[in-house]
């Protein structure tokens, strides 16, 4: 792939790791056309840190926190590259990251979205994510989380890339309208990947494209803030994207699993955030469901999209998908 790449880094009070992120992007063997830092109203001096770099680093300083989704959209609107590389401010790519992503895109005709092999910064031999997975009960998790890092694995199809480190063709980004800003933060990348499936866009993972990730360094893995947004956005995500009539057949299962998740969150002291998030999410889902791609899809397309969802597993086995986080000193959920 010889097309140009614009890297977009969204920042919110991330000075403690922003320099390491930007230095890693500047050290790429395939230089980026530009590195756009979209700052969401930081007050910790990180915007001054970014501004001091000068070209090819470009700072967009927003007056307040517009959220992860909106900030990426703002960065994409000013980006000039034919491809957009999204990168969290607490993610640090290996020097050949962009080169490996470009190679995967070249070797896979029609691949519009390319996921990264994200590994834990504290334990780089362990995978954090190689893309997005979602099952028929509506549970979302990081593909291969906890598995051993494997940089020689072949390029493979995935449901979609994590927004924390991904390469997206500009034409695909434009066709999908970027991230849906109703999400503010969390699940906007899952929504994007799901909408890409509805349009027939293809996504792959490039295992050789490695990024070390600090994992929820900005929002906090177990914060009330994160709990609220995950609970809120899950119902919006499902209402807009879950294929009909499969959704109605699986609705009792989806509701049961979500109630169990809410109860589990309450047991660790975040009951209020979990309940508020679901209340607001259901209200928003009822208002926005008709605007999603699932509402009026042809049955054949609905079946095709449904086939990408993983089978549901027993509730007592779900935590196994997150158990590796406990080994890193992070809460399981």
Picking from 137, 140, 116, 119, the residue whose alpha carbon sits closest to that of residue 128 is 119
Determine the Cα–Cα distance for residues 93 and 89; give it in Å rounded to an integer: 11
250 pLDDT higher than 70: yes
Across all residues in the chain, what is the average pLDDT?
Answer: 92
The CATH homologous superfamily for domain 5-213 is Spore Coat Polysaccharide Biosynthesis Protein SpsA; Chain A (3.90.550.10)
> What confidence score (pLDDT) does residue 291 get?
87
Residue with tokens 């803030």: 225
What is the mean pLDDT of the segment spanning 211-240? Answer: 84
Determine the Cα–Cα distance for residues 134 and 217; give it in Å rounded to an integer: 23
Q: Indicate the pLDDT class of residue 265, thresholds 50, 70 and 90.
A: confident
> What confidence score (pLDDT) does residue 78 get?
97
Determine the Cα–Cα distance for residues 278 and 284; give it in Å rounded to an integer: 10
The lowest-confidence range among 111-115, 177-181, 263-267 is: 263-267
What is the mean pLDDT of the segment spanning 220-234? Answer: 84
What is the mean pLDDT of the segment spanning 277-301? Answer: 91
The total number of residues written for the chain in this structure: 333
What is the tens place of the pLDDT at every residue in 21-47?
999 999 999 999 999 999 999 999 999
What percent of the chain has pLDDT above 90? Answer: 81
Backbone angles phi, psi at 73, to 5 degrees: -60, -40
What is the tens place of the pLDDT at every residue in 204-223?
999 999 999 997 655 555 58
The residue extents of the domains of the chain are 5-213, 224-327
């Amino acid at each position: 792939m010889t097309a140009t790449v614009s890297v977009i880094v969204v920042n919110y009070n991330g000075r403690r790791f922003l320099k390491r992120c930007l230095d890693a992007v500047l050290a790429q063997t395939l230089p980026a056309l530009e590195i756009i830092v979209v700052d969401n109203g930081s007050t910790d001096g990180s915007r001054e840190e970014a501004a001091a770099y000068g070209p090819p680093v470009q700072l967009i300083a927003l007056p307040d926190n517009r959220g992860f989704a909106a900030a990426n959209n703002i960065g994409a609107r000013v980006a000039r590259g034919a491809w957009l590389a999204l990168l969290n401010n607490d993610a640090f790519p290996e020097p050949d990251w962009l080169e490996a992503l470009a190679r995967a895109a070249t070797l896979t005709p029609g691949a519009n979205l390319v996921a990264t092999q994200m590994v834990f910064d504290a334990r780089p031999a362990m995978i954090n994510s190689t893309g997005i997975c979602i099952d028929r009960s509506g549970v979302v998790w990081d593909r291969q989380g906890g598995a051993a890092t494997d940089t020689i694995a072949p390029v493979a199809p995935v449901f979609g890339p994590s927004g924390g480190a991904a390469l997206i063709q500009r034409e695909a980004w434009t066709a999908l309208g970027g991230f849906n800003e109703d999400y503010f933060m969390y699940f906007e990348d899952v929504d994007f990947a799901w909408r890409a499936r509805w349009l027939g866009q293809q996504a792959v993972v490039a295992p050789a494209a490695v990024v070390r990730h600090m994992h929820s360094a900005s929002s906090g893995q177990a914060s009330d803030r994160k709990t609220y947004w995950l609970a809120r956005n899950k119902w919006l995500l499902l209402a807009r994207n879950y294929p009909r009539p499969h959704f109605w057949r699986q609705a009792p299962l989806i509701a049961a699993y979500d109630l169990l998740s809410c109860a589990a969150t309450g047991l660790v002291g975040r009951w209020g955030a979990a309940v508020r998030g679901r209340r607001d999410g259901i209200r928003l889902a009822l208002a926005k469901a008709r605007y999603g791609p699932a509402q009026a899809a042809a049955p054949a397309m609905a079946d095709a999209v449904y086939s990408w969802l993983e089978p549901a597993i027993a509730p007592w086995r779900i935590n196994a998908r997150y158990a590796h986080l406990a080994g890193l000193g992070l809460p399981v959920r």
